[in-house]
Structure 1
Amino acid sequence: MKTKKILSMILAIVMACSAFLMLTACNDKDTDKTTKADGKTDTYEIALITDKGTIDDKSFNQGAWEGVVQYAKEFNKTHKYYQPTDATTNDYIAAIELAIKGGAKIVVCPGFLFEVALYDMQTKYPAISFIILDGAPHTEDYATFKTEKNVVSIFYAEEEAGFLAGYAAVKDGMKGLG
């Protein structure tokens, strides 16, 4: 039960940061770059695995990383991110396993690109908690979807963002399409 509460708090922070990034993604201003977490120990309790992007990509990776950092600071947890060498399922699996070997008890995977990798990892590492943003674990051929109790899948309410964007456009004076 304690794990679910921790995962729920991380989920809330990640969603808040992601929402903030969606609202500010079109901003031209250059912001401070986030760097790798500096921990005093060789192990890290929370790990983020990036997809093809970096932790300063002004998208999923950055939003997830900022959520992890905020949660880790608030609850005095160690944290680190891992960037796979390439964008393949095998590279994602290797990065996840590296994070687990580094001591991660919670692994955050930002995006649907991790669905197949997590399908295997969730049963291989039942003591590890996984968070996947905008995806759910499944086989490569999409034949089987399975989410174990150690995985939390977070899906964004994209229709709400679309509605708000449309409302903002009309409020800003847009009267026609195209």
Structure 2
Amino acid sequence: MAGTQTYTLPTDKFLTLSMNLLNKVFLEATRTEAKNLYREISEGQSVPLTRVRMEDGSEVRFDLSMDHSKYQGRLNFGAFRAGLTLLVANIVEALREEKPVRTFHAEHDQNVMIFGIAAVTVEDGEPSVLVLGADAGSGQPSVLLQLMYLEHGQFAEQAAAGEAADNG
């Protein structure tokens, strides 16, 4: 019985690969192609993106899903694309400036993570916070990229607590 080999990519290389994939399938693709992919992930589907050949010759499949349950209001393709464009730009800027990227791991599984760079956009007066997560813990040679909208109120609370500490 063959075992599953585990590979660890440095965060910057993983994010570079992820940004290239997201850029290709949403920002460089035709509007129709991007909108069709958006429709699938917004309906809760996990969609295969590509296979990446690792240095040892093995292949890893990259899939994509989205959790928009915390999005305030009605999410549409235009709002999603604006948030994704900003998220890609923010991550690319952090990588270019070689800023350390905080990574938050799930308590129950170190293979499930969220990257600490967000895109905050405002649609109809409601802020939304989009982040990228990844799940490499399925035991399969695959990575699930997860675009997630987070509850924006927690960021306002953190900012207010930080200001109170600074003024205190």
TM-score w.r.t. the length of structure 2 is 0.30
* Larger relative strand fraction: 2
* Larger relative helix fraction: 1
TM-score w.r.t. the length of structure 1 is 0.29
